[in-house]
Amino acid sequence: MNIDKRYLVCALCWAVLGMVLGIYMAATGNHAELVTHAHILLAGFVVSFVYSVIHRLWLAAPARGLANLQFALHQLSAVIMAGGLFMLFANMATPPTLEPFLSVAALGLLLALLLMIYMVLRSGGTRSA
């Protein structure tokens, strides 16, 4: 599967997860996971979708290893971020316990973004959709 399609499939899965959490919060009236919901939809769905579009429209032939590293780093960091925030706002773990994981996840998302910027700057231009 091409990396643009992998990002698109992941984006849609993140959208489902975010919508399920949102529906749960609305149905129960418990909005404690609002921050988790927002991070799932933004870091998971929106950013993955944007990366899919970037790969489809601008990255004709990215270095395969770098593109795969960037993909794995983004998705893994988003999973750790979402899981950590869920546990934090569900009071399943204390902030001091989760802070190292959330910090690493935030840095992973930042590094994935910097790698995407690098790949875009290195690319030779647009590609046909």
Question: 25-54 pLDDT, tens per residue?
Answer: 999 999 999 999 999 999 999 999 999 999
Q: What is the pLDDT of residue 129?
A: 52
Cα–Cα distance, 55 to 46 (Å, whole number): 14
Residue in this structure with the two tokens 């204390």, named with its chain if needed: 94
pLDDT category of residue 63 using cuts at 50, 70 and 90? confident
Find, among 46, 52, 43, 48, the residue nearest to 1 by Cα: 52
Amino acid identity for residue 103 in this structure = S
- For the entire predicted model, the pTM comes to 0.92
Mean pLDDT of all residues belonging to the chain: 94
Would you say 36 and 85 are in contact if contact means Cβ atoms under 8 Å apart? Answer: yes
Cα–Cα distance, 8 to 121 (Å, whole number): 22
Would you say 44 and 82 are in contact if contact means Cβ atoms under 8 Å apart? Answer: yes
Q: What is the pLDDT of residue 22?
A: 97
Does 17 score more than 70 pLDDT?
yes
Would you say 5 and 56 are in contact if contact means Cβ atoms under 8 Å apart? Answer: no
Does 87 score more than 70 pLDDT?
yes
Q: State the number of CA atoms in the 13 A half-sphere of 81 facing the CB.
A: 25
Rounded to an integer, the average pLDDT of 68-95 is 97
Cα–Cα distance, 39 to 60 (Å, whole number): 29
How far out from the chain centre does Cα 118 lie? 18
